[in-house]
Amino acid sequence: MISESACRSDLKKYVIHRLFRIFPAYWFTYLLFAIPAGIYLKSNQDWTAFFLNIVNLQQLSPKALIAYDVLHVTWTLTVELIWYVIAPLFILGRARWALWWLLASVVISTCWSYFAAQGYFNAWFADAFASLQNPADPGQVGIIINNAFPAQMFFFIFGGCIYFYKDFFFRISETLINATIIALLLLIGVYQGKLPSPIFLTGIGLGALLIKVLRAPPTQDKILPRIGKISYSIYLVHFPIIIFFAQKFSGPLGNISIALGYLTIFIVSNVIYELIEKKFIALGRKLS
């Protein structure tokens, strides 16, 4: 957890670890898919939009995300990067201020989701969307505006509070944890569409699931730990590979293309982890 990393490291060590953990693998993967996609051959090249992708701030610009993102999932990295910046501030007060942060995050996330759903923030990005397409695609508006960091803030703060108050949360009965997860899953159909999304209720369900996972006994499985190690690389490469196999091979190969796609994702992710991730993580630890 990022809160734990920020607590056990000084600021310099924390920053170096985050930079070497996230960016080398991201840059390699981005270039791996951007070069064949002709990202650098645009007649109206916008280097600012390209740069925002390089520094993982693409969600802040419609053009950067829509015209220059080739991995299709990296808008979440902007949200994550903002949390990396806020996390050291969050842990300054340690547990003493954690509940106040939690309360503030409920208010901020709920208000942002509500006003975004009403279209109050659309004007901020209207010109940028108009330069790309008109009208803006609702899905793209949802990614850039409705799912911006303020809407997601509760999820991160609640995770941090679980870390600070783990002794309390780990004492909660398994029955109550299971009931919370099941109830919120069953209620999705009730509050989805009636309440703004994202909503902190989903975060409570995910938090309950996190507690259940954290206090589960260590697995003896050999595959799951490996998947955990390469999960970041899987995250980076899975979408473009799925799109490639769906477009090129779904017709002639049918369902076999799905299996080939998953196998390719696993192989490519392992290669990136071994050649890029692991080496730069070690270098970051050495430099710090």
Give strand pairing partners of 195: 192
Contact assessment for residue 58 and residue 74, using Cβ atoms and an 8 Å cutoff: yes
Each of the 288 residues of the chain gets a pLDDT tens digit; together they read 677 777 777 888 999 999 999 999 999 999 999 888 777 666 677 888 889 999 999 999 888 888 888 898 889 999 999 999 998 888 877 667 888 899 999 999 999 999 999 989 988 888 888 777 655 677 788 889 999 999 999 999 999 998 888 889 999 999 999 999 888 888 777 777 778 888 888 889 999 999 998 888 877 777 888 898 999 999 999 999 988 888 877 666 667 888 888 999 999 999 999 999 999 999 999 998
Alpha carbons 274 and 270: distance in angstroms, whole number? 6
Q: Please give the pLDDT value at position 16.
A: 93
With 0-12 / 13-18 / 19 or more C-beta atoms within 10 angstroms meaning exposed / middle / buried, residue 94 is exposed
Euclidean distance between CA atoms 59 and 79, whole angstroms? 8
User: Residue 29's pLDDT is what?
Assistant: 95
Q: Whole-angstrom Cα distance, residue 130 to residue 163?
A: 43
| Rounded Cα gap, residues 207 and 3, in angstroms | 14
* Rounded Cα distance, 165 and 277, in Å: 31
- Structure tokens, 136: 């803006």
